[in-house]
Homo-oligomer: A and B are copies of this chain.
Amino acid sequence: MNAGPATGRPSTKERIMSAGAELFRRQGYTGTGLKQIVAEADAPFGSVYHFFPGGKEQLGAEVVRTSGAAYGRLFTAAMDGAPDPVTGVRDFFAGAGRTLVETDYADACPIATLALEVASTNEPLRHATADVFTGWITLGTAAFTKTGIGEREARELTIALLSALEGAFVLSRALRSTEPLEVAGESVAARASALLASPAAPDTTA
């Protein structure tokens, strides 16, 4: 039962989770083999089935939930560290763009590739991704509500933000350009700004 934080390398389970998270994020679920994961983690093959008796599927589910939660904290940090929500949104998209460029367009959303792959083929994993997305929506709605935006508007703004972010990741990775991420970020920032200006508008679409 080594949680191994103080000194030395992380525990075997942690190394397997980290390697799995990185590879699933970059190559997807079916595109990543357990052999590759244990090689990257420098862990014995059998340990996978020691820590994850459910095999690859259980490892995938735990990775999805763990890195999903971590990414949610990244969003919260950006919002909390900004003077206003519009700046927070801009900071978050800018940070995502920086990470993308620094990793040569490899590290975008930690679960999107896997989510698309399993949406129609693996119900337990689909459910894990759905839980993460639901958590992000709850989280974003709370953050925007705190700034004076109405409950309904805050939820829709969050969903629009996540959609724009995920879609921009798809385009940016394929095109190897940060332009989609920048345009999407500005688009969401503009919408957030409009909602802050008219706090009680019942309909902002027309």
Contacts and interface: CB of A to CB of B under 8 A. Distances in A.
Contact of A171 (B29, B121, B126, B133): B133
Contacts of A167: 162-170
A184 B160 contact: yes
Closest 7 CB pairs of A and B: A167-B167, A166-B167, A163-B167, A30-B31, A119-B173, A113-B116, A163-B168
Nearest to A113: B116
A104 B123 CA distance: 13
Given A156-B183, A156-B186, 9 more contacts: A26-B120, A27-B30, A27-B120, A28-B28, A30-B31, A116-B170, A134-B175, A159-B179, A164-B187
Tally of this chain's copies: 2
A15 interface: no
Interface stretch (A45-53, A73-81, A188-196): A188-196
A174 B113 contact: no
A125 to B, nearest CB: 10
Given A115-B174, A119-B105, A163 B180 contact: yes
Interface of A: 26-31, 104-106, 112-113, 115-117, 119-121, 126, 129-130, 133-134, 156, 159-160, 162-171, 173-176, 179-180, 183-184, 186-187, 189-191, 193, 204-206
A175 B130 contact: yes
B205 A184 contact: no
Given A156-B183, A173-B116, A174-B129, A190 B166 contact: no
Given A120-B105, A170-B166, A180 B159 contact: yes
A179 B190 CA distance: 21
A123 to B, nearest CB: 10
B175 A133 contact: yes
B187 A121 contact: no
B164 A31 contact: no
A174 B120 contact: no
Greatest chain B CB density within 10 A among A26, A175, A184 is at A175
